Amino acid sequence: MANDISKPIVTMTNIILDISNNDLTINISVEERNDEVGDIAQALVIFKKKCIRARKT
């Protein structure tokens, strides 16, 4: 069970770091989960989209 949570958390941590370094080309692949990890991933998808919109203005 620990790997079910820890691997996606590490992945999302790396995604957050990528976004903070203005890399908006990354794929957020853990968004398909139907648990709290998936909820966080969905929030990351929204955050990434807003960053892309902000970059265009």
Q: Can you give the residue ranges of every domain in the chain? A: 2-56
Cβ burial, residue 14 (10 Å; 0-12/13-18/19+): exposed
Rounded Cα–Cα distance for residues 32 and 46 (Å): 14
Rounded Cα–Cα distance for residues 37 and 34 (Å): 8
35 secondary structure, DSSP code: S
Q: Categorize the per-residue pLDDT at 25 as very low, low, confident or very high, splitting at 50, 70 and 90.
A: very high
- Note whether 18 and 26 are within 8 A (CB): yes
Query: What percent of the chain shows pLDDT beyond 90?
Result: 54
Degrees (nearest 5) of the Cα angle 40, 55, 25?
55
Architecture of domain 2-56: Orthogonal Bundle (1.10)
pTM for this model (two decimals): 0.81
